[in-house]
């Protein structure tokens, strides 16, 4: 039987060039040539964002890796939307960095995928529009309705890659409850609406595996979803740059995951504080 690919899944990188250099080396050493990013990637405005993309592209060329980005909340959305759309429906920021639109579907070795980016910034009241906050970050009902168009062809998707997470995940719900006192009520409500919309998306897509970032909290939680028709999904949260469990390998032969370390970089232990 022909072996299927081993893919990389990367958590929030926040434009951290030094961390990403190590992360890509780790993926390369693991034999990975394709990486999917869950968002808060590093599309920053101005020279800082341009320098990050140039440095990252050089490393991707060195390791012959192609990176596909699902957008997060901390991304310069107007910058991304200014990129031309290619025939494959992707926006290529560089030769090796592509941005996937919301609801984008594809297959790798017979395994079906869907990307659904975006998430509300719970601290948006402390941010400045167009500087470090963009209202385009939030999912809309239009994003959810578009998913229905693929239900007949894809009654159940193997892998869903997002930035935000749905409701009903025990370890994440506990984390949010513990951290609720840190945020203003308007921000909490804004974030809760995002999770409700992601829950609606999960009900439509019915993924077998679900990867997300945003919460800077690593865990693996098999979770039951569905009101009328129950189904199980293995939900995986990835941590952020400089913290352990920021990057992993997905083996498409076994559908098992393996956390990888970032060579030459200090990996901190998650402290329990929510920083989205």
The answer to whether residue 276 sits within a structural domain is no
Query: Which CATH number does the domain housing residue 105 bear?
Result: 3.60.21.10
The answer to whether residue 184 sits within a structural domain is yes
The answer to whether residue 110 sits within a structural domain is yes
Query: Tokens 């434009």 appear where?
Result: 15
CA geometry: angle 145, 139, 236, nearest 5 deg: 100
Give dist(CA 216, CA 201) in Å, integer: 22
Give dist(CA 166, CA 173) in Å, integer: 10
pLDDT of residue 265: 67
The answer to whether residue 19 sits within a structural domain is yes
Q: Please say whether the beta carbons of 96 and 67 come within 8 A.
A: yes
The answer to whether residue 266 sits within a structural domain is no
276 residues of the chain, pLDDT tens digit each: 567 899 999 999 999 999 999 999 999 999 999 999 999 999 999 999 999 999 999 999 999 999 999 999 999 999 999 999 999 999 999 999 999 999 999 999 999 999 999 999 999 999 999 999 999 999 999 999 999 988 888 889 999 999 999 999 999 999 999 988 889 999 999 999 999 999 999 999 999 999 999 999 999 999 999 988 899 999 999 999 999 999 999 999 999 999 998 877 666 654 333 334
**Structural domains of the chain, count:** 1
What is the 3-state secondary structure of the chain?
CCCCCEEEEECCCCCCHHHHHHHHHHHHHCCCCEEEECCCCCCCCHHHHHHHHHHHHHHHHHHCCEEEEECCCCCCHHHHHCCCECCCCCEEEECCEEEECCCEEEEECCEEEEEECCCCCCCHHHCCECCCECHHHCCCHHHHHHHHHHCCCCCCCCEEEECCCCCCCHHHHHHHHHHHHHCCHHHHHHHHHHHHHHHHHHHHHCCCEEEECCCCCCEEEEEEECCCCCEEEEEEECCCCCECCCEEEEECCCCEEEEECCCCCCCECCCCCCCC
pLDDT of residue 269: 55
The answer to whether residue 16 sits within a structural domain is yes
pLDDT of residue 167: 97
Give the residue numbers spanning the domain of 153.
6-260
Half-sphere exposure of 157 (CA within 13 A, CB side): 28
The answer to whether residue 25 sits within a structural domain is yes
The answer to whether residue 271 sits within a structural domain is no
List of long-range contacts for 140-143, beta carbons under 8 Å, 24+ apart:
140/197, 141/197, 143/102, 143/103, 143/116, 143/118, 143/197, 143/201
């Amino acid at each position: 039987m022909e072996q299927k690919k081993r893919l990389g899944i990367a958590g929030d990188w926040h434009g951290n060039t030094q961390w990403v250099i190590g992360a890509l080396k780790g993926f390369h050493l693991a034999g990975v040539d394709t990486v999917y990013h869950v968002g808060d990637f590093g599309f920053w405005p101005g020279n800082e964002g341009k320098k990050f993309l140039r440095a990252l592209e050089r490393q991707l060329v060195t390791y012959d890796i192609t990176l596909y980005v699902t957008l997060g909340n901390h991304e310069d959305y107007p910058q991304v939307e200014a990129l031309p759309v290619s025939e494959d429906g992707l926006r290529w920021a560089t030769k090796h960095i592509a941005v996937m639109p919301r609801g984008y579907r594809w297959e790798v070795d017979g395994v079906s995928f869907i990307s659904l980016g975006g998430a509300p910034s719970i601290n948006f009241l402390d941010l400045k529009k167009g500087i470090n906050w963009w209202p385009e970050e939030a999912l809309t009902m239009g994003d959810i309705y578009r998913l229905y168009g693929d239900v007949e062809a894809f009654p159940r998707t193997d892998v869903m890659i997002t930035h935000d997470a749905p409701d009903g995940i025990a370890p994440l719900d506990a984390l949010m409850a513990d951290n609720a006192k840190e945020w203003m009520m308007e921000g909490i409500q804004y974030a809760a609406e995002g999770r409700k919309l992601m829950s609606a998306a999960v009900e439509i897509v019915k993924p077998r595996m679900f990867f997300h970032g945003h919460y800077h909290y690593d865990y693996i939680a098999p979770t039951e979803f569905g009101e009328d028709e129950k189904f199980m999904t293995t939900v995986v949260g990835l941590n952020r740059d400089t913290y352990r469990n920021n990057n992993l390998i997905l083996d498409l032969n076994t559908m098992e995951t393996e956390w990888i370390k970032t060579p030459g970089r200090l990996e901190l232990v998650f402290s329990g504080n929510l920083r989205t």
